[in-house]
Amino acid sequence: MKNKKRIFLTGANGLLGQKLIDLLDNHQDYELIASGRGASRLGDRAVRYVSCDLEDKETVTKTLEEIRPDIIIHGAAMTHVDICEQNQEACYSANVLATKYLLDASQSFSPHFIFVSTDFIFSGEKELLTEEEEAAPVNYYGQTKLEAEELVKKSGLKWAIARTVLVFGISPGLSRSNIVLWVKESLEQGKTIQVVNDQFRTPTLAEDLAMGCFLIAQKGAEGVFNISGSDLLTPYQMALEVADYFDLDQSLIQETDSTKFTQPAKRPLKTGFIIKKAQKELGYEPKTFRAAIGILAKQIILARS
């Protein structure tokens, strides 16, 4: 029997992390070691879990020297954009320093380093973006993710960057909402909601992002890959689609624009991704937004049963 490749996954307690565990645990070709800060929140999943504070250099070095993985998928990050803007020191530590410590600790065994990044490294002035587009973040979160990307590129390791857009999904034990759940629950309660029509995204089902990361690992792919959904939509269009799928009252959805909202962090207006490279080189094929709603609908029913 051939030796399994060992994957070290950061951010295992989060949405992407849990979807990657669902995909990779008990895989015949891979041994998965999941990690997160503090205790495991993975429920009854049987995966091996290691507590690791990525912002502690000594802990990171010790953990990686013991595990010596063939592949690292670095999905852990501080991602709440407004909190990042208001707590820049914490954001820098979580997004830049943690990445640096992982890269430094990897030098002695040279794993394939896969870094999960974001559309928020872009200015939002162009509607559809390729992997070659010039970055110009408009908020601190995007700035830290871009800085971490540069560290990855200069690390001397075999590397790949998976950039993604507006990830949504549900998983046991996670309370953070997303646009599909928010619209569904608001309309079911008869609430009127205001949704912007001047932002453009290619929303990404968490399972699709997990599959994109796995395909990069499986194929030993290197470079930057856009891993997102394929449908370019405004949040207003997304909300209408959710209402239509669940047969809810679309008249409760009020169309507005970004100028009506005051938020600590500026958002780029347009960040749709062109995913042709991932489709061609990885065989990546994301769900349509409507099909993704259907997957969430089934998961909601299962969670309540």
Instruction: List C-alpha distances in Å: 172 to 136, 194, 305.
Output: 35, 28, 13
Cα-only R_g, the chain: 19
Q: How far is 209 from 192, CA to CA, in rounded Å? A: 31
Q: Residue 262 falls within a domain, yes or no?
A: no
- Return the CATH number at 220: 3.40.50.720
Q: Residue 303 falls within a domain, yes or no?
A: no
Q: Classify 268 in phi/psi space as left (phi over 0), alpha (psi -120 to 50) or beta.
A: beta
With beta carbons less than 8 A apart as the criterion, state whether 228 and 205 touch: no
Q: How far is 125 from 280, CA to CA, in rounded Å? A: 26
Instruction: Tell me how many domains the chain contains.
Output: 1
pTM, two decimal places: 0.97
Bridge partners of 164, per DSSP, are 118
From the DSSP assignment, how many helices (H) and strands (E) are in the chain?
A: 11, 14
| Six-digit token string for 272 | 């749709």
pLDDT tens across the length of the chain (305 residues): 468 999 999 999 999 999 999 999 889 999 999 999 999 988 888 899 999 999 999 999 999 999 999 999 999 999 999 999 999 999 999 999 999 999 999 999 999 999 999 999 999 999 899 999 999 999 999 999 999 999 999 999 999 999 999 999 998 877 778 999 999 999 999 999 999 999 999 999 999 999 999 999 999 999 999 999 999 999 999 999 999 999 999 999 999 999 998 899 999 999 999 999 999 999 999 999 999 999 999 999 888 87
Q: Residue 295 falls within a domain, yes or no?
A: no
CB neighbour class for 119 (10 Å; exposed up to 12, middle 13-18, buried from 19): buried
Q: Residue 112 falls within a domain, yes or no?
A: yes
Model confidence pLDDT, tens digit, residues 240-253 = 999 999 999 999 99
Task: Give the range of the structural domain holding residue 93, as residue numbers without chain letter.
Answer: 5-170+204-229+272-287
Q: Which of 16, 243, 42, 253 is nearest to 114 (CA)?
A: 16
Q: Residue 80 falls within a domain, yes or no?
A: yes
CB neighbour class for 117 (10 Å; exposed up to 12, middle 13-18, buried from 19): buried
Bridge partners of 193, per DSSP, are 253
Q: Residue 296 falls within a domain, yes or no?
A: no
DSSP E strands, the chain: 5-10, 30-36, 48-51, 71-74, 112-118, 128-129, 158-164, 167-168, 193-196, 200-201, 204-205, 223-226, 253-256, 270-273
